[in-house]
A = this chain, B = another copy of it.
């Protein structure tokens, strides 16, 4: 069932969503946005919609199948945006039989609303007490009212202040808001619509129906076995989290340091996954924490400060990088505090970190000044003029301060893999419909990890094909609700993909092939590109900032040299 919420009238209507049958997650979100949102709309205006959708496997308990998608036109990039998130919301909405909640229009007043989903359906409720609260406090207040077991997604002050890099924070299985629909500023869209939170209570929900439950379970087992066998998903990720990549990328010379000035950072190990695991061991906390129902990879963690108080969790490589090497900071506790502050104010940690790095390049504060960086995040939270600049994202920060080295594509910050030394990532950043997004075609696999083959990360050859195939496959994976990390297994173990196909077919009684599912991914990409083109963002925008093509990166002394003409072939399918 779909629900449409009209914020102008406060009406909530059920909608069978006939046009959207057979889709889930990213494919569904992008299709709705492409069909229903005028690409010329202002992202914060009444023409934009905020879409919460579940995925093909939501609510089933499929291994690592708990993710969902948020969609809309991005206030950060002006492109279409699908922001994929873990935590416990996707599973609960799936169990409630909800395929999508489409929030339309703008409210006529300045009140604070929440969306409540339960077996009684979807309701809109005014909740003035939440106004002005940050995410941890919002979650606490909602748990007080609705109990500790509900799933919550909410915005902090950044979203209420309509900052273009505001995220939506989601609770994990412990009810802690450590997961974010982070990129592209959908928190600001939520704020513009007066929605402070979405709450899902699945108590009393019936089990999700399967057309062929036995076949589903068999498919799930294949995938689970693969995940429990592959070295990345069974060893590295549970032991150290994604931050295991700090030392790996540093070794590869692709760890962007001090605003993409060099590819190696002297203090890398101090902010890497190994140090994180040591600190957790010493202080308590947890490694091998799963963020969403069904997770068997468990790359998340709970990180405590020196006093043993919980500081943050879901503390990813990209955040460690953004507040660490990118800023020239090598103190993991400072990095963890910055991550916590971003999660609490409700802003994308990648965008915020990269923006601070650009402010450092402008001389606002010095590289390495972690206290200064923490202060800047507080300024963002307080919405001072300087804080608002940073909250508007990296491109805006660069423009306001007249900086020429601004690591963005289509208005979104380039994350933690230098595109000169990990050229497959460079192709993905340059061409993805989402603005620079590392997850859209994660070429770190074949470029760095030797997963799914090996392609020399320093050479331009083969990167376009690698990125194209990954972008198509990812668009499909992001439609299933499966965590993208299942791709490690898929790329090396045929039975993983078989298991996924079998699960999807068994749940819906379909007889689709791998090709059919990849076609779903292709169609998502086509929808997204059609939206972007109509919004005025043409193929010319599919490139990296010119400094990546001109400034050689140490230690490998490489520039980004995949020709623009080749970039233009990524979507030749």
Task: Enumerate chain A interface residues (CB-CB to B < 8 A).
Answer: 38-42, 44-47, 75, 161-164, 188, 191-192, 384-386, 388-389, 391-392, 396, 399-406, 410, 532-543, 545-547, 550, 564
* Residue numbers in B under 8 Å from A161 (CB-CB): 402
Is the beta-carbon distance between B388 and A546 smaller than 8 angstroms? no
Question: Closest approach, in angstroms, between the C-beta of A505 and any C-beta of chain B?
Answer: 38
Q: In the complex, are the beta carbons of A399 and B396 less than 8 A apart?
A: yes
Distance in angstroms between the alpha carbons of A564 and B385 in the assembled complex: 36
A536-B546 CB under 8 A given contacts A400-B392, A404-B45 = no
A405: chain B residues at CB < 8 Å are: 42
Give the residues in chain B near A401, CB-CB below 8 Å.
Answer: 388
How many copies of this protein are present in the complex? 2
- Indicate if the CB atoms of B404 and A388 lie closer than 8 Å: no
* A444 CB to nearest chain B CB (Å): 25
Top 5 A-B pairs ranked by shortest CB distance? A162-B402, A538-B538, A536-B541, A536-B540, A385-B386
Q: Which of B44, B385, B537, B540 contacts A402 (CB 8 A)?
A: B44
The DSSP consensus for interface residues of chain A is loop
With A42-B546, A539-B536, A546-B42 known as contacts, the answer to whether A400 contacts B404 (CB < 8 A) is: no
Q: In whole Å, how far is A213's beta carbon from the nearest beta carbon of chain B?
A: 46
Residues of B within 8 A of A162 (CB): 402
Is A402 touching B536 in the complex (CB atoms < 8 A)? no
| Closest B residue to A41 using CB positions | B546
Apart from A384-B385, A385-B385, A396-B400, what are 18 other A-B pairs with CB-CB below 8 Å? A39-B540, A42-B405, A42-B547, A161-B402, A162-B402, A164-B402, A191-B402, A385-B386, A388-B389, A389-B389, A391-B400, A392-B396, A392-B400, A532-B540, A536-B538, A536-B539, A536-B541, A537-B540
Task: Tell which of B40, B386, B410, B545 touches A546, judged by Cβ atoms closer than 8 Å.
Answer: B40
**Which of A161, A399, A405: most chain B CB closer than 10 A?**
A399
A192 to B399, CA, bound (A): 13
Residue of B whose beta carbon sits closest to that of A391? B400
Contact A192 B404, beta carbon cutoff 8 Å: yes
27 residue pairs A–B, Cβ–Cβ below 8 Å: A40-B540, A40-B545, A42-B404, A42-B545, A42-B546, A42-B547, A45-B404, A45-B547, A47-B550, A75-B399, A75-B402, A163-B402, A192-B402, A385-B386, A385-B389, A389-B389, A389-B400, A392-B399, A396-B396, A396-B399, A400-B400, A410-B536, A534-B540, A536-B543, A537-B538, A537-B541, A538-B540
A537 neighbours in B (Cβ, 8 Å): 536-538, 540-541
> Nearest residue in B to A401 (C-beta to C-beta)?
B388
- What residues of chain B lie closer than 8 Å to A75, measured between beta carbons? 399, 402
